[in-house]
Structure 1
Amino acid sequence: MPGSPSSFVVGVGMTPFLSPKKSASLAANPQSDYLDLAVEAGVKALLDAGLTFDKVDQGIGCYVFGDSTCAQRVFYSLGMTGIPILNVHNYCSSGSTGLWLANQAIRSGDADCVMVVGFDKMYPGVLPQTHKDRTNPLSRVLDLSKTQIHEADRNKPSPGWSPQLYANAQAEYLDRYGGSGGAERRDFARITAINREHGTRNPYSQLSKAVSVEDVLSSPVISGDITRLQCCPSSTGAAAAVIVSESFLAAHPYLRSTAIQIAGQSLATDSSKLYELKSAIELIGSDMTRTAAKRAYEQAGIGPKDVSVIELHDCFTTNEMCALEGLGLAEEGKAWKLVRDGLITYNSKGKEKGWIVNPSGGLISKGHPLGATGLAQCAELVWHLRGWAKRRSVASTRYCLQHNMGMGGATVVTIYKRIDGETAPKIEDTKPEEDGRSRLGYNPAEEARSISREDWQMDVSED
């Protein structure tokens, strides 16, 4: 909102995302447990900001698979300073919900420096229902989804509730907007091919091999017409961000060259449309996306055409297709054309202005450790606005948008911009000592390194 206090991201960090099976096989590797992953991401974020943990006055830990107070266990490994520590479990949007809480704390004046760490050590396969002796919070959605299974899919098995929901939504989308010259299954497969190609440029990506549209369509069917390569993988990993106030920036002027402003942000939950419209597309949270996007654009004072780079929640290709419309990038029923015309990737030959969507590879390529996803999206966009994402950069980037959603539900849309309001520079035009890379000693957008014991010890305290 004009005139209201602002929040700034001054440090980000993340670990490579791994499959749970590969992570479990690395028993002697520090990337085998949530604690080590989260501490590594947190230390990287502090190093990026050039701060020690005793400067942090609130801690927020975000995760889905873990016991209560995992956040305390993580932050205690960085320092036991008596600060408020929150544990956030908001399903797939847990990480960006933590960012939203940090933004609220900063803007309200309750904190000047908040550290948010997201992490998860997931199980292989589809998302499990952890507690089977009590009401499932998604029970009403799941009951409705059973009535929406496409007639042609009624006898097809589904390994779990999540693939079924998105298979229903894809079938509804094709029924509404398909036909002669309209949306096709290949358009959904194109989304995977695009995101997997993007992921080859990201050193943190779990799946770094490109695939073709034919590869996607010929991979095993998971549910309805959704194939395995249209689903994001289960993942293990962590990411972190340090958020500060304007007064903190004034006291640490060296941070101004790398600080990225949260220009607009909104957290939305489901409206009554979820149950009233009896639509499979609505059951995957489409209205939350529309609501959160509208509010975030209004706060930032911009529209979709002003954004260059977008990190979008593509847990399934269906979700990306519907979210492209919910974010205002395409009219309702027209996102397939945006995908088909190559307007969400690099080297677009069309005359129409496009966007780079999921330059990190998105959830489909990079992976989706639920608590870490929102913070990994934040890290990617911060790197773009700083001009660090060399192989994934987009010319004249002024605004970036993050979309992170969780069923049940909560969706967060965040818009970022540089503190100077200018477009992101080319990395060739800046020096490490000028743009903050010297604090880490390397470019984390292009190289995924592990921390050393000295890094950890240096971040715990100034003493």
Structure 2
Amino acid sequence: MRDVFVSGTGLTPFKKYEAGSGRMLGRHAGRAALLDAGIDFAAVEAVYGGSALPNSPRAIYLARELGMTGVPVHHVTNASASGLAAMHDAWLAIASGLHEVVLVIGYDAPEATGSAEMAIAAQGFAPPVSLFSMWANRRAQEVGTTERHLALVAAKNWNYAAGNPNALRQPTETVTVEKVLGSRLIAAPITSMMCTPWGDGAGAAVLMSAEMLARTRGASPYVAKISASVSNTEVYEDGLILEGAIIGSATITGAGAQAALTIAGVGPKDLDVVQVHDAFAVEEIVYCEQIGLSVPGETEELLERGAFGPGSREKFGLAEVSTDGGLIARGHASGGTGLAQVHETLRRFRNHGDQVGLVQLVGVGGVCYTQIFTRGKRK
């Protein structure tokens, strides 16, 4: 398998757009990524589009906004993980030698009136917040997680979003734990500020082989090598909730993360920056443990001391998590979310000097994607 690099990314703001905006968003994100990578669409050999919602435009229509050059266009859908699923397939296409340059676009913006909530309900699933409320209540019994611990996660992510111009939620003042706890209760103990806001948006990434990378000059000398990309689903275990569940056991993330870390040849403590599927605050706590950043019973104490936030690497030797605000504050544009995570990882490599990053998303039905990136430089 050949080395594959992310040479450029682009991202639109996440927010609510008018119905029918999907093609425009894909065009903007795609053009930004191509400009960042230092190439034109004519150099692209394939396009992979990832979207989750059935009423978003198909990938072919986004590709046509950028050019009609005869390249293959693949539409990938795998719920909230659709963006990373498209990244995974594009990585395989280059790593296998099939292509040299691939454009990935992750997006969701309905062509007509609709919402992610409606799409989930149509598949017979319970509202996501109901499942993660049960996660939080069970965790409270098992390890003593409190509403305040959930609020610490949410406040951290809201405050990260204050520095992200593309975030759906952009607080104008520091968000406190008390403010999060005082927001509207949705499903005890989860309040509205602990939940992701659904939105629309698009992100894009240009993937290249090492040979192509050496022949191009992008906006920055720094790139991200895809050191591992893992796709996995659930393994049956006693007590697994299947009927009506968004996902079942959190161990799906642990299995994917362990496999990715092994392939990349790094450990959890080597990670500088991590993006997870923090649609609800309890998820970030659980996924940090599944990735190996902490162990049950220790995570809450670390949060109280400021771990996983700004300066976490220096103070605790632990990665910063959800540095663009995460799903909680950057927002969740379904297919666009995975590409937002990739965009943020590359930004951190360039602007903060981070060396190793991990991104993780889960999706309805029990799918998980985990990717590990290492900082690289054009020669």
Shared fold per TM-score greater than 0.5: yes
Tell me the equivalent position of 1:401. 358
Report SS of the residue matched to 1:77: helix
Distance 1:129 1:397, change over 3 A: closer
Q: How many residues are paired up? A: 373
Alignment CA distance shift 1:67-1:124 (3 Å): closer
Q: What is the aligned partner in structure 2 of residue 177 from structure 1?
A: 143
Q: Which of 149, 158, 180 is 1:187 aligned to?
A: 149
Taking the TM superposition and a 5 Å limit, the aligned residue runs for 1:22-421 are 23-24=17-18, 33-67=21-55, 70-121=58-109, 127-129=117-119, 132=122, 136=123, 161-178=127-144, 183-209=145-171, 210-252=174-216, 257-273=221-237, 276-278=238-240, 283-348=247-312, 352-387=316-351, 393=352, 397-420=354-377
Secondary structure of the structure 2 residue equivalent to 1:262? strand
8 A contact 1:124–1:234 mirrored in 2: no
Contact 1:166/1:284 (8 A) holds in 2: no
Shift of 1:45: 0.3
Listed as ranges, the gaps of 5+ residues in structure 1 are 143-159, 388-392, 421-434, 437-463
Q: Secondary structure at the match of 2:108?
A: strand
Question: Partners in 2 of 1:253 and 1:208 — Cα distance?
Answer: 33
The CA distance in 1 between the partners of 2:115 and 2:47, in whole Å, is 31
Distance 1:54 1:12 in 2: 17
- Deviates further, 211-220 or 162-171: 211-220
In structure 2, the CA distance between the partners of 1:200 and 1:11, relative to structure 1 (3 Å rule), is same
Percent of aligned positions with the same letter in both sequences?
Answer: 30
Per the alignment, in what secondary structure is the counterpart of residue 321 of structure 1? Answer: helix
- How far is 1:216 from its partner? 1.3
Contact 2:36 2:218 in 1 (8 A): no
- Is the CA contact 2:143–2:296 (under 8 Å) kept in the aligned structure 1? no
Relative distance call for 1:119 and 1:253 in structure 2 (3 A) is closer
Question: Aligned partners of 1:255, 1:308: CA distance in 2, in Å?
Answer: 23
Structure with higher strand content: 2
1:248 deviates by 1.5
Q: Structure 2 vs 1, CA of residues 228 and 170 (structure 1 numbering), >3 Å: closer, same or farther?
A: same
Q: CA deviation at 1:333?
A: 3.7
TM-fit CA distance, 1:74: 0.5
Change (3 A) 1:264 1:70: same
User: How much has 1:348 moved relative to structure 2?
Assistant: 5.0
Shift of 1:36: 0.4
| Matches of 1:283 and 1:411, distance apart in 2 | 10
Q: 1:277 to 1:332 in 2, by over 3 A?
A: farther
The structure having more radius of gyration, on CA atoms, is 1
Aligned twin of 1:16: 13
Residues 254 and 319 from structure 1, CA distance in 2 versus in 1: closer, same or farther, beyond 3 angstroms?
closer
**C-alpha distance in 2, partners of 1:349/1:58?**
38
Taking only aligned residues, the RMSD between alpha carbons, in angstroms, comes to 2.5
Normalised to the residue count of structure 2, the TM-score between the two structures is 0.91
**Residue 3 of structure 2: which of 6, 12, 21 is its match?**
6
Cα deviation 1:360-414 (Å, max 9, x = unaligned)? 0111111100010000100111111123xxxxx3xx5211111122121221111
- Specify whether residues 340 and 43 from structure 1 end up closer, same or farther in structure 2 by C-alpha distance, changes over 3 A only: same
Q: Cα–Cα, structure 1 residues 188 and 279, in superposed 2: closer, same or farther, change >3 Å?
A: farther
C-alpha separation in 1, matches of 2:150 and 2:222: 37
Q: Deviations over 1:175-226 (max 9, x none)?
A: 1001xxxx22100111010000111111111111142111111211111321
Q: Which runs of 5+ in 2 are unaligned?
A: none
